[in-house]
Amino acid sequence: MKVVTTLDDLRHARAGLLGPVGLVPTMGYLHEGHLSLATRARAECASVAASIFVNPSQFGPSEDLSSYPRDLPRDLAMLKEAGVDLVWTPTPEIVYPADFQSWITVEEVARTLEGAHRPGHFRGVATMVAKLFNVFQPDRAYFGQKDAQQAAVIRQMARDLNFPVEVVICPTVREPDGLAMSSRNAYLHGEQRPAATVLFRALSTAAAVYAAGERDAEALRQLMAEVIDSEPLARRQYVSVADPISLHELQGPIQRALLSMAVHIGTTRLIDNLILGDI
Ligand code: PAF
């Protein structure tokens, strides 16, 4: 596995990769969710590339950029074990030189849900992913369904800007008790860890009543809110029952929906989602 930092070294190493090339973009502190992306890429592509970069532009001023967990040696060992061929670990100065001034704003699909609560977040994500698409020129790029809106934003951007890349969305990987894997789970301590299963419990409860015939969007939102509010350590930021493609909030009877939520457990902000019905 080749590990490079500079753009020149990356371009040189990329030129030597056999296609199709699969890209796994990450912010490091890897877990089974990231590895599932690398494993899928390994199975579908002749070469697999990855990036590790905690992207400052997708963090708000009061968010956890400085405390975001990092462990580069462990990450590199995991990627090597997963059969990755090339890893880019740039510095912030390489990605955002002092005179950087070009940003990508995806509009409607980035406005709701996470976009409404994290202003500027998807501008940072879209710009970073566009840069990764430009420098790696991947045939396929792999992202997790856990970040459902991110997946929708990246799909939209790739389509709108004609990036010749297939955006592949892989299922959320969960701990045995249902907690969605996330690098931010490392922030959970003591009784916060079992409390964090409340997100999956709320989604599963809504999915069960949907399976039993409930179709009213507001009833499903209400139910998820009640489950979250029953957990003393949880503070609900939003629960949503939205169209899985447009991400517009749904009212009245639904056929298919993206259930999603953001919940604080202590100071840790967690998100999770589930799709109901066929899309
Ligand atoms: O999902 C992430 O880890 C990040 O948002 C991404 C896609 C690597 C862009 O910085």
* 8 A C-beta contact, residue 1 and residue 86: yes
Decide whether 2-170 matches 183-274 in CATH topology.
no
Helix (H, G, I), strand (E, B) or coil at 102: coil
Q: Whose CA is nearest to atom 9 of ligand 1?
A: 125
Domain extents for the chain?
A: 2-170, 183-274
* CATH architecture of structural domain 183-274: 2-Layer Sandwich (3.30)
Q: Is the CB of 75 under 6 A from ligand 1?
A: no
- DSSP output for 113-156: HHHHHSTTHHHHHHHHHHHHHHHH--SEEEEETTSHHHHHHHHH
Residue 34 annotated to the active site:
yes
Q: State the Cα angle at 259 between 258 and 264, rounded to 5°.
A: 135
Q: Which atom from ligand 1 is nearest to the alpha carbon of 125?
A: 9
Ligand 1 lined by 27 (C-beta under 6 Å): yes
Annotated catalytic residue, options 34, 117, 121, 264: 34
Asked if residues 89 and 3 have their Cβ atoms less than 8 Å apart, the reply is: yes
Task: Indicate the pairing of strand 166-170 with strand 234-242.
Answer: unpaired
CA–centroid distance, residue 114 to ligand 1 (Å): 14
Q: Which CATH architecture has domain 2-170?
A: 3-Layer(aba) Sandwich (3.40)
Pocket lining: 52 vs ligand 1, CB cutoff 6 Å? no
pTM of the model: 0.98
Residue 125 Cβ inside 6 Å of ligand 1? The answer reads yes
Tens digits of pLDDT across the chain (279 residues): 999 999 999 999 999 999 999 999 999 999 999 999 999 999 999 999 999 999 999 999 999 999 999 999 999 999 999 999 999 999 999 999 999 999 999 999 999 999 999 999 999 999 999 999 999 999 999 999 999 999 999 999 999 999 999 999 999 999 999 999 999 999 999 999 999 999 999 999 999 999 999 999 999 999 999 999 999 999 999 999 999 999 999 999 999 999 999 999 999 999 999 999 987
What separation in Å is there between the alpha carbon of 143 and the centre of ligand 1?
8
Q: Would you call the peptide bond into 176 cis, given omega within 30 degrees of 0 as the criterion? A: no
Q: How far is it, in rounded angstroms, from Cα 198 to Cα 270?
A: 10
Rg (CA), the chain: 19
- Report the C-alpha gap between 259 and 250 in whole angstroms: 10
Q: Answer whether 129 contacts ligand 1 (Cβ < 6 A).
A: yes
